[in-house]
């Protein structure tokens, strides 16, 4: 059955509920180029403003999945479980988490993306490693998953092509924040990749797409229900993204911090969230009796990392890029660090070259921000608060402006925020 795109737009604009056939048609027609970008932009804006029912979201997600192929991971003998983060600042958790969970007996088919704006991208970080490649064929993907147990790569062109086209459109039309479209975008790819279970890390705070706990909880609930409706055991953690994760924001600097975690060290918050997500993933995979902390401390997680990097052409022993220009920013007064704003420092790292404004833009492997202090730390006047790193000194002035008010030094104790806010599912 065929529809007129303008009728579908009007129906949602006026607060109506789209029928199954309308949804199937508009997703398929847009993927094949029969619905114009400006028409899909109007529909996406109508969805942002009017919302969707659970039934509409479920059907939209199914249509996105149906636009491409669905991988069959039955050749993999281990239980499969994946993780997805909705994006944040300093969020390098995928890097230590994937090999850690693989070291504990599960297989992790981690399809990841690139950064845009102030949120970093896992693939950009890993491309700091000489020789490492993000693009794998389906055959390479399944073979590595079977042999190594851990894969981090970009999604193939055959998986949910409707999402790839629609996401690029949403990014330039101010509709990224629409919860129905976020949920269907994430879940269509994760379901299509064929994983048996999924753990979601839904970020909330200044550095996240979801600014309120209520919106984050609604997104998490929607995605958990979508996963379960498609036979994927799904749970979600709501985690704080008001403060950057760890001490590094960028690409190579986040890889180095991930290596510190895999070696049994690293910042406490990165270790805490890595282990919390690992335990959720192992429980979903039927391996709840395995303690992932043991694999961090006995070297198995690091061995898994090295095998994963080598399998994708990378050299795990190669030195990581270091920025040519490093500028230290010092405290003007003594006191206690009251807050470290994730958005301000994420924007500064982006300005320094660690992120991109358009999907076609290159990123700098060495650029970024390195924190020396976190909330609750005591500082004396003149102590280094953070470093701005870049290969292009002309980027420093605007980055200084973004970072200038991000680290606040006060007199009293810093408020204590839990890293893990809630669990859904």
Does the pTM surpass 0.75? The reply is yes
Q: Give 209's pLDDT tier (boundaries 50, 70, 90).
A: confident
- Active-site residue flag, 372: no
* Domain co-membership, 149 together with 231: yes
237-246, 259-268, 355-364: least confident range: 355-364
Q: CB burial class (10 A; 0-12, 13-18, 19+) of residue 421?
A: middle
Q: Do residues 23 and 150 share a domain?
A: no
Whether residue 176 has pLDDT greater than 90 = no
Tell me, what's the pLDDT at 2?
A: 80
Detail the DSSP E strand segments found in 170-296: 197-204, 233-240, 248-250
Both tokens of residue 266? 């690293």
Q: Is 167 within the bounds of a domain?
A: yes
Q: What is the DSSP letter of 239?
A: E
Decide if 197 contacts 234 (C-beta within 8 A): yes
Number of separate domains in the chain? 3
Q: Sorting pLDDT into bands at 50, 70 and 90, what band is 18?
A: very high
pLDDT at 174: 85
What separation, in Å, do the N-terminal and C-terminal C-alpha atoms of the chain show? 37
**Any catalytic annotation for residue 165?**
no
In this structure, are 30 and 106 located in the same domain?
no
Confirm whether 394 is a catalytic residue: no
Contact 219, 183 (CB under 8 A): yes
Annotation marks residue 84 as catalytic: yes
**Which residue of the set 84, 230, 372, 389 is catalytic?**
84
Q: Based on the domain organization, do 149 and 256 belong to the same domain? A: yes
Boundary (domain end) residue, out of 250, 278, 311 = 311
E strands, 173-332, are 197-204, 233-240, 248-250, 325-330
Asked whether 364 and 401 are in contact (CB, 8 A), the reply is no
Distance (Å) of CA 367 to CA 57, 213, 317, 354? 39, 31, 21, 5
Range of the domain at 368: 325-410
Is residue 54 annotated as a catalytic residue, yes or no? no
Q: Are residues 133 and 40 in the same domain?
A: no
Q: Helix or strand or coil: residue 335?
A: strand
Instruction: Tell me: do 176 and 280 sit in the same domain.
Output: yes
The CATH number that applies at residue 395 is 3.90.1170.30
Choosing from 285, 311, 337, the residue where a domain stops is 311
pLDDT (mean) for 140-147? 96
User: Per-residue pLDDT tens for 21-69?
Assistant: 999 999 999 999 999 999 999 999 999 999 999 999 999 999 999 999 9
Residue 374 lies in a domain: yes
Distance between CA atoms of residues 92 and 99, nearest Å: 13
Is 37 found in the same domain as 140? no
Q: In this structure, is residue 418 part of a structural domain? A: no
Query: Do 36 and 91 fall within a single domain?
Result: no
How confident is the model at residue 139, as a pLDDT?
93
Annotated catalytic residue, options 163, 201, 269, 402: 163
Catalytic position from the list 114, 165, 170, 373 = 170
Residue 242 contacts residue 205 (beta carbons within 8 Å):
yes
Same domain, 41 and 145: no
pLDDT at 89 over 90: yes
- Domain with 150 in it: what CATH number? 3.40.1030.10
């Amino acid at each position: 059955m065929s529809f007129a795109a303008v009728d579908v737009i009007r129906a949602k604009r006026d607060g109506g509920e789209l029928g199954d056939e309308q949804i199937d048609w508009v997703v398929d027609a847009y993927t094949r180029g029969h619905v114009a970008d400006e028409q899909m932009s109007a529909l996406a804006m109508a969805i942002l403003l009017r919302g969707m029912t659970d039934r509409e979201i479920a059907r939209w997600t199914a249509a996105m999945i149906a636009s491409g192929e669905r991988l069959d991971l039955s050749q993999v003998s281990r239980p499969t479980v994946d993780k997805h983060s909705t994006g944040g600042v300093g969020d390098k958790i995928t890097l230590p988490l994937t090999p850690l969970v693989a070291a504990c007996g599960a297989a992790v088919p981690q399809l990841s993306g690139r950064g845009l704006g102030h949120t970093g991208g896992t693939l950009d970080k890993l491309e700091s490693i000489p020789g490492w490649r993000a693009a794998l064929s389906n055959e390479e993907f399944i073979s590595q998953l079977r042999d190594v147990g851990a894969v981090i790569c970009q999604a193939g062109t055959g998986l949910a092509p409707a999402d790839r086209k629609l996401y690029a459109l949403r990014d330039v039309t101010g509709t990224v924040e629409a919860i129905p479209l976020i949920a269907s975008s994430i879940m269509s790819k994760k379901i299509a990749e064929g994983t048996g279970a999924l753990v979601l890390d839904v970020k909330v705070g200044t550095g996240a797409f979801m600014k309120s706990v209520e919106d984050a909880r609604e997104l998490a609930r929607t995605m958990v229900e979508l996963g379960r409706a498609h036979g994927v055991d799904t749970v979600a953690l709501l985690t704080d993204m008001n403060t950057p994760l760890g001490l590094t924001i960028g690409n190579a600097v986040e890889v180095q911090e991930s290596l510190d975690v895999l070696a049994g060290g690293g910042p406490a918050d990165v270790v805490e969230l890595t282990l919390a997500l690992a335990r959720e993933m192992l429980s979903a995979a039927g391996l709840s009796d395995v303690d992932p902390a043991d694999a961090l401390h006995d070297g198995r997680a690091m061995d898994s990392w090295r095998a994963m990097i080598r399998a994708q052409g990378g050299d795990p022993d190669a030195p990581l890029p270091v920025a040519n220009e490093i500028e230290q920013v010092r405290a003007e007064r003594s006191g206690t660090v009251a807050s470290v704003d994730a958005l301000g420092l994420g924007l500064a790292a982006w300005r320094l070259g660690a992120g991109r404004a358009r999907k076609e833009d290159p990123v700098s492997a060495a650029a970024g921000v390195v924190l020396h202090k976190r909330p609750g730390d005591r500082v004396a006047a003149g102590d280094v608060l953070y470093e701005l790193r870049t290969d292009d000194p002309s980027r420093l002035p605007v980055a200084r402006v973004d970072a200038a008010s991000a680290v606040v030094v006060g007199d009293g104790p810093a408020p204590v925020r839990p890293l893990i806010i809630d669990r859904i599912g």
